[in-house]
Structure 1
Amino acid sequence: MTEVPRRQVVVTTSWDDGHRLDDRLAALLEKYAIPATFYIAPRNVEWNAADLLSPAGVRELADRFEIGGHTLSHRRLPTLSDRAARDDIQAGKEELEDVIGESVTSFCYPCGDYTQTHVQITGELGFTLARTVRRSTLEPGSPLELDTTVNAYAHRVDAPLALRMARGRPWTAARLFLSWDELAMKWFEICRLEGGVFHLWGHSWEVDARGDWQRLERLLAHISGHPDVTYVQNRDLLALGA
């Protein structure tokens, strides 16, 4: 993917797994007019069936947001044979397409685990974009190995990053380290100054489990409604950078 022009500021978000709490997340995104791509594993083995979005729920979500593939079962691809990995990716794509009645062209590697064989498979199966879980950049990178900016989750490995972004100020660094929404807002302000793609991603179930709905809403309010910002779904990054 060609680098986005430095003067252009782009915001995109993506949300993984297809949990029933995606409905709550979708309502919050709509409130602030933030586009999103929801990566859904229709038969995710990590959850009981009652915790997954129903086909009707997926269709309703597709009326408002992009739906992306996330395999059928959400098993880590490197734990499968190449044939089984291909089958799981393809089955997830086909089931989603049957449900929503349109092509699914974006994909997310479950848990961010993949090899170059899986990159090749996604392309062969008709995906034009595939998202990783790599963070801390405003440059999206390769279309089938798309990088992101920030995860809606506090990562303990982010201490050096927080210190660097705080320019050595310990109290500022502590705030960025302890509060992922503060770190995300810092990244957004850097993006507005330097240009690039601010890509927020996460899981609705994780936001809920950590009691982070207020943090998420605070961030969405902060990044929304700026006339100098282009807001897109993941698939639209291709048109901006091709």
Structure 2
Amino acid sequence: MTHPAVVVTTSWDDGHRLDPRLADLLDEHGVAATFYIAPRNIEFDAADLLPPSGVRELADRGFEIGGHTLSHQRLPLIPDAAAREEIEAGKSALEDITGGAVTSFCYPRGEYRPVHVRQAAQAGFTFARTVVRGSLGSGRPMEAATTVNAYAHRVDVPLVLRMAAGHPVKAARLYLNWEELAIHWFELCRREGGVYHLWGHSWEIDERGDWDRLKRVLAHIGGRADVRYVTNGQLSGMEAA
């Protein structure tokens, strides 16, 4: 019996000083990842930014470093020229730090317009991730969807009800516990095949006391011989689904 192909990728946004702690868990469970870093993220205090030495360490450990603009500006709220500069300057800064090419991008807060898709491609990015959830496909390379966020979204009621197939207790469990939803999505991917994409933020995991929840998910999805573990950038060569 031929089993459907299962690909697992994860991505972690913003460039926080807690990213190395998250990287340790990923390494422990054999899960690949892309860290999307805004080197001068204006939403963090300076002491909370992942320093250049930390960015280099992640890259040296085999994690992909992705662009997330220079300072995490909300692209639709700034002029197009400023958006282009943010995208290009963030990429250049990370390449200077790591000494390697940065070819994956994540739109800050998932907010963007068609012009920003073009700008990211023109800057040399070949993959760009959104914050759209609920997909098991590799999707469009410059507007890639994800599967599940390491965060409980209270707007996910319709999705959870469909996934629970009318079972109220199961629906409540999936709704209240993001780790249950993440595991449920993974099991669906194992049955049907596809790309399972988990994403989140190290600072948010810490803020909500969710490290044990994350450990449980990574222990469940990681280290499987029949699963291919890839960075986001390695998805760009896959056929759109």
TM-score if structure 1 supplies the norm length? 0.96
Is 1:12 paired with 2:41?
A: no
SS of match in other structure, 1:59: helix
Question: For 2:54, which of 48, 57, 75 is the aligned residue?
Answer: 57
2:145 and 2:196 map into 1 onto residues whose CA distance is: 10
Is 1:135 paired with 2:119?
A: no
Question: For 1:220, which of 210, 218, 221 is the aligned residue?
Answer: 218
Is 1:25 paired with 2:10?
A: no
**Structure 1 residue 141, shift from structure 2 partner:** 1.1
Q: Percent identity?
A: 66
Given that 2:31 and 2:229 are in contact with CA atoms closer than 8 Å, whether structure 1 keeps it comes out as yes
Q: What residue identity is the alignment partner of 1:124?
A: Q
SS of match in other structure, 1:7: coil
Q: Give the gaps of 5 or more residues in structure 2.
A: none
Structural mapping, 1:114-153, within 5 Å? 114-153=112-151
Structural mapping, 1:76-155, within 5 Å? 76-155=74-153
Q: What residue identity is the alignment partner of 1:55?
A: P
User: Which residue of the partner structure matches residue 185 of structure 2?
Assistant: 187
**Structure 1 residue 239, shift from structure 2 partner:** 2.9
**Structure 1 residue 227, shift from structure 2 partner:** 1.6
Is 1:37 paired with 2:34?
A: yes
Moved over 6 A (4+): none
Structure 1 vs Structure 2 CA RMSD: 1.0
**Structure 1 residue 23, shift from structure 2 partner:** 1.0
**Structure 1 residue 8, shift from structure 2 partner:** 1.3
1:28 and 1:214 map into 2 onto residues whose CA distance is: 10
User: Which residue of the partner structure matches residue 195 of structure 2?
Assistant: 197
Structural mapping, 1:227-242, within 5 Å? 227-241=225-239
SS of match in other structure, 1:114: coil
Q: What residue identity is the alignment partner of 1:145?
A: E
